[in-house]
Chain A
Amino acid sequence: MLLTTLILGLVLGATYALLALGLTLQYGICRIMNLAYGELTLVAAFLLVVLFKSFGLPPLVALLLICPAGYAAGWCLYTVMMRPLVQRSGARGRLEVDSILATFGLLFLIQGGLLVVFGANFTSISYLDQGVSVLGVPVALNRLVALVICVVAGGALVAALNLTRWGLTIRAVAQSPGSAPLVGIDVNRVARQGFALGTSLAATGGASLAMYQTFSATDGVVFTMKALVIVIMGGVGNVAGALVAGVALGLVETVVATAIDPGLTLAATFAIFLAVLLWRPNGLFGRRS
């Protein structure tokens, strides 16, 4: 029983970690708090379902399409919608408020679109749902596949950020967007890449979630909320922190859902959020102020 909870929590946590990774990239690099993040995740999840059900495309192949499509969507979104806001705000702290408001509108726009196209019902697909024994615990194969996707995508990103020259420029912009141009970094380009990459991660997370979970067009807010709490727990802009916090949240949620009540998972999320705010507002792995 305990082991089952642990393994299921780990799978859920890995997906959350991937989602939070994208959000922390967007906020850390572009200073854009994207409230429509969960809706972008949902779009990818619905896309996977449509590709699977209507076109018979295996989800793993569909994922190879959705991941770059997410990057392209993020690229366009930044160029069309966020860039004017960034330019308007200049050096003042106005961008944060503007981006919150603009993405809040985007949230309703996308949610409305999804409701019109797919309705308010729960959707799911059955794909690779035979059980596999992991340490004596039967786990559906689709969950394991989702876990592998998250580990590979998240791991590749962390390695790229820490080991490559490209990762260095990204980290430079995240740390000090004002000084980055002094060493010849095109902040606008890096911010666009960061936003697109974050959207791509949202899409990957959503697509892998769709392989094993039921979801509906109104779930986006909850995804955004969870990703935000993980970002705060891990420390804003802290990639490793987001990974650890994501897995932790997945575990806590699974424990609460099995031991107390599945209806209280968001309450558990908020309880953690409050505890972190009161105890360590800079994140579990942040420096104490």
Chain B
Amino acid sequence: MKVLLIAAGLAVLACAPFAVSDYGLGLLIGAVTYVTLASGWALFSGPTRYVSLATVAFYGIGAYTVAVLNEALPYPLVLISAAAVGAAIALVVGLSTLRLAGIYFVIFTFGLAELVRQLITWFEVNVTGTLGRYIFLDLTARDIYWQMLALGAATIGLTAWINRSRLGLALRVVGDDEVVAAHSGINLARTKLIAFVLSATILTLAGAIASPRFVYVEPAIAFNPTISFLTVIMALLGGANRLWGPALGAVPLFLVFEWLSANFPDTYPIFLGLLFIAVVFALPDGILAGLEKLRRRGGEVRA
């Protein structure tokens, strides 16, 4: 029953582009992109509580890989290369930080996007001599929407599968208590590394799929720190350790963000900062957990 419901919902979403205007399609692509990013982020950071602030590092790497390779390789190969680059970088970051306490990981991811941006800028200016690249791909907005929808569905499906597997159980134990996890025979570094690389690959692919919409890509556009920020707050708002939490947080916040950036282009970072702090204080486990708590309290009153 549940599977049927999800399949029907997916079919409706897949047909949506035929019913909406171009602007509506743009909104749909944005919303699905953020659902994918938030779900991909939560795949690792949800159960383990290792806050990654590097979403845009991988997203930007995906976009940039497409910008570099889009004329040299056929499109599917470009996507595979982007995923491989993202996975390789995640592996390096994970191997050097995930064996240590969580705080090192947070600090590393905090500066990662800025580091990648500086390195690419330096490389482009000094070696290739061009800052900024064009992406000319024969893809319509609908193609991009369907690809992103497929990636988003795959991400949520993967999360559901991981949640039921031994890996998911191990990740939750790691998130609850690393000492207990180590004592019950979980290989801490390997467990965290697998989830982090999976999550980073999804984020990279999302960047690669979204990039033809940019047409023109340069480091300052591809590595916009607001994307990292939005991804974290969306996943937290919905509930980062719930399957549907990130998606639930992403859609309303994306719309709010669109409205704010259209109407208050200068002050929207302030609103978002306030919103973020409000979420951390008022809904530390997300909307879903907050609703459950409310319902439980209501039940007690009635009983």
Contacts and interface: CB of A to CB of B under 8 A. Distances in A.
A109 B118 CA distance: 24
Contacts of A108: 229, 269-270, 272-273, 276
B103 A33 contact: yes
Interface stretch (B62-70, B108-116, B142-150): B108-116
Contacts of B121: 263
B257 to A, nearest CB: 12
Contacts of A278: 96
B97 A97 contact: no
Contact of B269 (A35, A84, A111): A111
Interface in B33-67: 49, 51, 53
A104 interface: yes
Interface stretch (B132-140, B244-252, B277-285): B277-285
Contact of B276 (A105, A110, A232, A267): A105
B280 A105 contact: yes
B256 interface: no
B225 A221 contact: yes
Nearest to A89: B284
Contacts of A222: 114
A159 interface: no
Contacts of A221: 110-111, 114, 225
B107 A232 contact: yes
A157 interface: no
A168 interface: no
A244 to B, nearest CB: 19
A81 interface: yes
Q: Which of B125, B276, B280, B281 has the most CB of A within 10 A?
A: B280
A35 B107 CA distance: 9
B114 A100 contact: no
Interface in B235-294: 236, 266-277, 279-281, 284
Contact of A270 (B100, B102, B111, B274): B111
Interface in B215-229: 225, 229
B267 A116 contact: yes
B110 A232 contact: no
Q: Identify whether the interface residues of B are mostly helix, strand, loop, or mixed.
A: helix
Given A112-B268, A222-B114, A261 B277 contact: no
Contacts of A101: 51, 232, 236, 276, 280
Contacts of B188: none
B107 A228 contact: yes
Interface in A3-26: none
Q: Chain A interface: which size bin? A: 35 or more
B269 to A, nearest CB: 3
Q: Which of B119, B271, B276 has the most CB of A within 10 A?
A: B276
A277 B110 contact: no
Q: Which of A112, A232, A274 has the most CB of B within 10 A?
A: A112
Given A101-B232, A112-B273, A35 B110 contact: yes
Contacts of B114: 221-222, 225, 266
A119 B207 CA distance: 29
Contacts, number: 118
A204 interface: no
Nearest to A81: B277
Given A108-B229, A115-B266, A267 B96 contact: no
Contacts of A277: 96-97, 100, 104, 108
Interface string A77-112: 000010011001000000011101110111111111
A267 B284 contact: no
Contacts of B229: 104, 108
A98 B280 contact: yes
A263 B122 contact: yes
A96 B268 CA distance: 27
Interface string A245-278: 0000000000000000101101101100110011
A281 B266 contact: no
Contacts of B277: 81, 102, 105-106, 109
A33 B106 contact: yes
B61 to A, nearest CB: 15
A224 interface: yes
B128 interface: no
Nearest to A221: B114
A263 B125 contact: yes
A178 interface: no
Across the A-B interface, give the 6 residue pairs with the lowest CB-CB distance, nearest first. Answer: A109-B273, A112-B269, A105-B276, A112-B270, A108-B273, A225-B111
Interface of B: 49, 51, 53, 96-97, 100, 102-104, 106-108, 110-111, 114-115, 118-119, 121-122, 125-126, 225, 229, 232-233, 236, 266-277, 279-281, 284
23 contacts: A96-B102, A100-B51, A101-B51, A102-B277, A102-B280, A105-B233, A105-B275, A105-B277, A108-B229, A108-B270, A108-B273, A111-B269, A112-B268, A112-B273, A115-B266, A115-B269, A221-B111, A225-B111, A263-B118, A263-B121, A266-B118, A267-B122, A273-B108
